[in-house]
Amino acid sequence: MPVSFAFPYIQKVVHLFKCGTREWDLVTIAACFDAETQSKILSIRIPLTGVDQFKWSLSQNGDFSVKSLYTQLNPVNNLHNLDWNRVWSLQVLPRIHTFVWKCLHNILPVNARIAAILNDIDPRCPMCSKHSETVYHLLMECDFARAVWFALPVGIAMIMVGIMSKLIGLHGVLLLLGLFGKLVVKRYSIDYLNVTNPMGIGISLTNYT
C-alpha cells in the first residue's frame, strides 16, 4: 500500500524527521517502509545547516532547463554514447551507412512512425501482420527478419537473434549487419509487387534508403 494512503500525514521528507530536529524518526520509517527501503533512507546524510532547495537532477548546476528535459525525453539523444567512428569506418556501401544511421536515429519510414502522422495508415508490419512495424520489429522480431538472420552466411540461428539483441542491443546488431555488408530488407516487394511469400530472401534497400 502506498505510504500516502497508509500514513496520509506523511507528505514530505521532513515528516520522517523527529519533530523539531534534523534526525530520522526510526519508528516512523520502520512503520512506513520495508527493510531495504529503510536502509536506503537512513544512509542519506541530513545536512545540519542551510535551507532546502529544489534541484533539477538532469543538469549539472541543478537548475531546470528545457534543453535538459528535451534531451532526457528524446531517445535519439542517447546515441551520444555510441562509437560513431565504428559506424562510419565499416567497409560497406554508402547506402548501408545511411541505412544504419537512419535506424539508429529511428527515422526509417516504418508503418508505426507513419501511422503516428497519418491516421489512414495501418501501423502493422506488412510482412507478418502480427505486430506494429517499428525499426526494432523490422530488424529483430519479425518472422521474416528472423529468416533473414538464419540465412546469413555466418549461419546465425534464429534463437541467437533474441540473445544478441539482449546482450548488445539494436546498436550492436546494426553494426554486425554492417560488418556482414548485407542488410536484407525485401519489404518493397510486398508493398509494390504483392508478393504473398515474404520468406523469399533478397538483398535490397530499395524502400528504405
Region for residue 121 given its phi and psi (left: phi exceeds 0; alpha: psi -120 to 50; beta: otherwise): beta
Of the two residues 174 and 5, the one the predictor is more confident about is 174
**Among the ranges given (11-25, 112-126, 160-174, 185-199), the one the predictor scored with the smallest mean pLDDT:** 185-199
What pLDDT, on a 0 to 100 scale, did the predictor assign at position 7?
A: 66
What pLDDT, on a 0 to 100 scale, did the predictor assign at position 1?
A: 44
**Integer Cα distance of 32 and 16 in angstroms:** 10
Q: How would residue 31 be classed by pLDDT, with cut points 50, 70 and 90?
A: confident
Q: How would residue 58 be classed by pLDDT, with cut points 50, 70 and 90?
A: confident
What pLDDT, on a 0 to 100 scale, did the predictor assign at position 123?
A: 92
The model's pLDDT over 119-143, given as tens digits with 9 standing for 90+, comes to 888 999 988 888 999 888 887 788 8
Cα dihedral across residues 60, 64, 66, 71: positive or negative: positive
The model's pLDDT over 144-157, given as tens digits with 9 standing for 90+, comes to 877 777 776 554 44
Q: For helices 143-151 and 158-180, what crossing angle results, to 10°?
A: 70
